[in-house]
Amino acid sequence: MYDVIIIGGGVVGASALREAVSYGMKALLLEADDDVATGTSRANSGIIHAGYDAKPNSLKAKFNVRGNALCYELAGELGIDAKRIGSLVVSTKEGLKGLEDLEKRGKENGVDVKIIRREEILRIEKNVADDIEYALYAKDGGIISPYKFTIALADNAVINGGEVILESKVVKIDNNGGKFTVYTENGKSYETKIVVNSAGGHANDINAMLGDEIYDTEFRRGDYFVLDTKEAKNISTVLFPLPDERGKGVLVAPTVDGNVIYGPTSIKVESIEDTGVTGEGLDIIRASVTKSYKCPNYRNVIRVYAGVRSIVGGDFVIKWSDKVDNYFILAGICSPGLTSAPAIGEYVAKEIADRLGKKEKKKLIPNKRTKHFASMSVDELNELVKEDPRWCKIVCRCEKVSEKEIVEAINSPVKATSVDAVKRRARAGMGRCGGGFCAPDVMEIIARELDIPLTAVKKGGKNSNIAVSYVKEDGIDV
């Protein structure tokens, strides 16, 4: 019997799992896909929002501001990078009133913000558009990798006694007088005292299993351009336009891994699965970027992608169910959900701990920080190669990723069992060639480490097998 089962392996679910473990709970996270961070948590901007945009006294404001501080605090414990590079909301002189309204809102939320003029803007970001006169500056804005953050939270939970079971889509939940039996697609079942619905865009599906409220949910797709690391020299902060009724607008920002992104759009779609990038979306980005940034360079685009966020009204849904005892609902965790996630996890775990009578928190064992070939000195590498020659075999040339790093990713606490899962942890395939050179080698290493046939290795997700057979395999008509 588990104390709590969390459904959904996004950044919010992973944070709730880690916090539950800190109270000594027997805690399990069930994820439908073959890795955590495969939905909205994978495909967003990776921005640590300062907290000026959310309406005062809203859940978004409360959890954004607390989450901002926690993101930077947790990064060291989790062994990942979080960079406090500041953010600018820029406008022409016609937008000054909008910036003043945003500044007032930010100060009500307790955020350190101020309006600055062009001369000061240029000291922070030299490549703002020529007609930009004013900006709202938030020194606590920053960047973090959304998928590495999620993975690190889940890994840390497992290191400290939590459980993560992948490829376990929940298909049925029996409510046995306040205790639950959770059934998964693969025929397994798990008993628990408390269920947390952190299923993101599938939150209504879980609610329906328990006869709870079905929320009116809007899905919005965000398209992005990703640029080569050589573009990083042109942008030093997070650059936003003035927000409108559709959201925060198309931003320009560096990533913690050295790339640059343009995006997202905010295009209404029918479901959380509608993640296909469109020409319409990319055209919107092209038209929008130049309003804030004067040197976009589409020749250095190395890929495009899209993510879908789910919106339930104007705020987050974070509450105990009004209909089902011991059932906690997390829904509509759209922007600033990534920044808010550690604060939401903290809150949810405290609520559950109080209900279960668990008062004491334990200090968690931190993650071991992963070493990367690309960031080490020659002397450091020479020492490591003496211990393990796999450090000197480069598998991914674009990102300079060694075989040792890939092996460590595969054997991490939440194992990477697909090419995409390895990519999210070790960056093999994240470079200009998109895995064109390294993917076959990554596949062979996965097959070897997991002791599975090459034909069982997947790109990422159900039915994504890459190899059908060996070309000269007997009995195969190629």
Q: Is pLDDT at 334 greater than 80 in this prediction?
A: yes
280-324, pLDDT tens digit by residue?
999 999 999 999 999 999 999 999 999 999 999 999 999 999 999
DSSP 413: S
CB atoms under 10 Å from CB of 211, counted, come to 12
How far apart are the C-alpha atoms of 53 and 127, rounded to whole Å? 24
* φ and ψ at residue 331, rounded to 5 degrees: -145, 155
Q: Which residues are catalytic?
A: 49
- Look up tokens 């609520």; give the residue: 351
Of 136-140, 175-179, 366-370, 434-438, which gets the smallest average pLDDT? 175-179
Lowest mean pLDDT: which of 14-23, 136-145, 349-358, 463-472?
463-472
In angstroms, the CA 476 to CA 462 distance is 23
- The answer to whether residue 105 scores a pLDDT higher than 90 is yes
pTM: 0.96
User: Which residues does residue 318 pair with via DSSP β-bridges, in sequence order?
Assistant: 330
Which residues are CB-contacts of 329 (< 8 A; sequence separation ≥ 6)? 197, 203, 207, 212, 317, 318, 319, 320, 321
Residue 420 structure tokens:
């995409």
Rounded to an integer, the average pLDDT of 175-202 is 96
pLDDT at 246: 61
What pLDDT is stored for residue 468 in this prediction? 85
Q: Phi and psi of 246, rounded to 5°?
A: -90, -10
- Mean pLDDT, to the nearest integer, of 472-476? 61
The span from the CA of 37 to the CA of 148, in Å, is: 8
Q: Select from 235, 367, 212 the least CA-distant residue to 297.
A: 235
Which pairs with CB-CB distance under 8 Å and at least 24 residues apart come from 103-109? 103/52, 103/136, 105/52, 105/53, 105/54, 105/55, 105/56, 106/50, 106/51, 106/52, 106/53, 106/136, 106/138, 108/56, 109/51, 109/52, 109/54, 109/56, 109/61, 109/64, 109/65
The pLDDT value given to residue 478: 47
Task: Please give the pLDDT value at position 245.
Answer: 66
d(C-alpha 223, C-alpha 220), whole Å: 10
**% pLDDT > 70, the chain:** 98
pLDDT digits (tens, 9 = 90+) for 255-283: 999 999 999 999 999 999 999 999 999 99
Q: What mean pLDDT, rounded, does the chain reach? A: 96
Report whether the peptide linkage leading into residue 453 is cis, meaning its omega lies within 30 degrees of zero: no
pLDDT at 361 over 70: yes
Q: Is the pLDDT of residue 470 over 70?
A: yes
Which pairing describes strands 27-30 and 134-138: parallel, antiparallel, or unpaired?
A: unpaired
CA-to-CA separations, 99 to 4, 54, 73, 259, 293, in angstroms, rounded: 44, 14, 29, 28, 18
Residue range 43-94, pLDDT digits in tens: 999 999 999 999 999 999 999 999 999 999 999 999 999 999 999 999 999 9
Q: How many CB atoms lie within 10 A of CB 247?
A: 17
Helices (H), 146-240: 146-159, 203-209
Residue 471's pLDDT is: 79
